[in-house]
Chains A and B, each alone.
Chain A
């Protein structure tokens, strides 16, 4: 089967979704191919969720430029998409006088990059701000504009908006081969067929260099850098209210302690170079390292309320900067490669630039009117009593609480499945609604969520998956197992 489009985007992470949304404002046919079965399945679902202010990147680098620009776009973007955005501020702490030099260097960098409001706070002021912080702290860079967002929810909303405006998202599309035909069209083969397009966009995350190297003579080398995390339960009063960084190293921004937009506490990440970009396992050593390093920020560290551990893999280029724009030796091929931190912060700006470059290339016209994004209803748990009462009166499915830990209703789960790019898996429902994201980790709600998914999508219960590949949650009916047991001669089967 051949499918033609003006633009083919490879990858539906935060960058691919942002690019798709920008492109949906033009009169062009746009398809996004994703190898996994949902959006945001790579680094987008497993990072710190921070909109960095932009003090860390070397002045003049693409990381610095896009970070500062992207960060400035987020408040409006989140407001228009109904997404959480919390400007909680960040602290980069110095635990000795040597660190103080680093902190001062970061302030100077930040000022060169155009980050507003940077200040150095001294010991006493810091302990007033964050009373459980390591009392050995000497000083810290205070970054008032550092903010928290929900990375995957941001990608979901952008993809939904793009889909509303005509972009197709096609899942389970591993790129088998890619070439630029003599007629100038790109041909991308996947297990389900061939996709032809005038422009190809590389937003392939950890596969970015592989894709690039198939079309360009200028080979890139990518390092897969894994980061492991702890996610602690939300509490009325979290021990920290700011994102607290330690001084950065060559491997990244180091281990941080931060609240999340949902009121959890996040500890991590590690920075380990690994061979397999799909290897998102956590390790005993990695988790111990996070614990040990986080304890430098938080000496009274307690992981008693740990909900889960996870890891994400960053796409690090050996050149240590983003590559953004047209490929030098392959016309019509546009790229966003090496989008590691501050990639989330930069994504809106990267997308804006790439889309306008692509529009120029293809001579695209902007649409007269885009279909506005319908902001999803407020989460039930965030409603006032009156709003809750009205919601249940309007739709009784709001009266059925499915996830007890995070107070997620049946109505919200159904809505998540019915979104333009809706949830098709247990994890997809979890990340769109928070059902199963709480302290019991789906122990109670999993069977119910699976039922609703099956009902809404007409996927038989036995084919409902947790996430990708063969991640089926069930193996058979009791009946089939009984028969299987009875057909065997011994109890071994």
Chain B
């Protein structure tokens, strides 16, 4: 099984072909021009992860709260996490850096406020 992906490490944007075993295990990569490409390809084809950011409403504030995950979370869980965020009920004040949700959906990532709302 092969998968073609674009490297995101630099503007060259190498088109890399990744060879995977039938059970999805990383076997090899071609088309990369540097080792960073290879390690990105391995990660991206086995367990792609993303930092996600969003805004969520806060009672008592016109401006919504911007938040981020404290570390990349599995790409497949983005919508589940957004769904979870939509159920939160927040109140002022919030301080930048404050943990809004600890270990969201057992991903190991916290949801962190990225701005303060007094």
Query: Which A residues have a C-beta under 8 Å from some C-beta of B?
Result: 477-479, 482-483, 485-486, 491
Contacts and interface: CB of A to CB of B under 8 A. Distances in A.
B86 A486 contact: yes
8 contacts: A478-B55, A478-B64, A482-B82, A483-B86, A485-B82, A486-B82, A486-B86, A491-B79
Nearest to A477: B57
Contacts of A478: 55-57, 64
A453 to B, nearest CB: 16
A485 B57 contact: no
B68 to A, nearest CB: 16
Interface residues of B, number: 10
Given A478-B57, A486-B83, 19 more contacts: A477-B57, A478-B56, A478-B64, A479-B56, A479-B57, A479-B86, A482-B56, A482-B82, A482-B85, A482-B86, A483-B86, A485-B79, A485-B82, A485-B83, A485-B86, A486-B82, A486-B86, A486-B87, A491-B79
Contacts of B86: 479, 482-483, 485-486
Interface string B30-58: 00000000000000000000000001110
A479 B86 CA distance: 7
Nearest to B87: A486
A88 to B, nearest CB: 46
Interface of B: 55-57, 64, 79, 82-83, 85-87
Contacts of B83: 485-486
A268 to B, nearest CB: 42
Q: Is the interface of B mostly helix, strand, loop or mixed?
A: mixed
Contacts of B79: 485, 491
A478 B79 CA distance: 15
Nearest to B88: A482
A482 B85 CA distance: 8
A326 B79 CA distance: 68
B87 to A, nearest CB: 7
A180 B57 CA distance: 57
Contacts of A477: 57
A22 to B, nearest CB: 46
Nearest to A461: B62
A483 B85 CA distance: 9
A482 B55 CA distance: 10
B106 to A, nearest CB: 19
A479 B59 CA distance: 11
A478 B57 CA distance: 7
A486 B55 CA distance: 14
Contacts of A483: 86
Nearest to B84: A486
A39 to B, nearest CB: 32
Contacts of B64: 478
A483 B57 CA distance: 11
Nearest to A482: B86
A490 to B, nearest CB: 8
A491 B83 CA distance: 11
Contacts of B56: 478-479, 482
Contacts of B85: 482
A488 to B, nearest CB: 9
B1 to A, nearest CB: 24
Of A477, A483, A486, A491, the most chain B CB neighbours within 10 A belong to A486
Contacts of B87: 486
Nearest to B57: A479
Of B56, B64, B82, B86, the most chain A CB neighbours within 10 A belong to B86
A486 B56 CA distance: 13
A473 B55 CA distance: 20
Of A478, A482, A491, the most chain B CB neighbours within 10 A belong to A482
Nearest to A489: B79
A482 B88 CA distance: 11
B3 to A, nearest CB: 20
Nearest to A484: B86
Nearest to B85: A482
Contacts of B55: 478
A483 B89 CA distance: 12
B117 to A, nearest CB: 14
Contacts of A485: 79, 82-83, 86
Give 8 closest A-B pairs by Cβ, nearest first: A482-B86, A486-B83, A486-B86, A479-B57, A483-B86, A478-B64, A478-B55, A491-B79
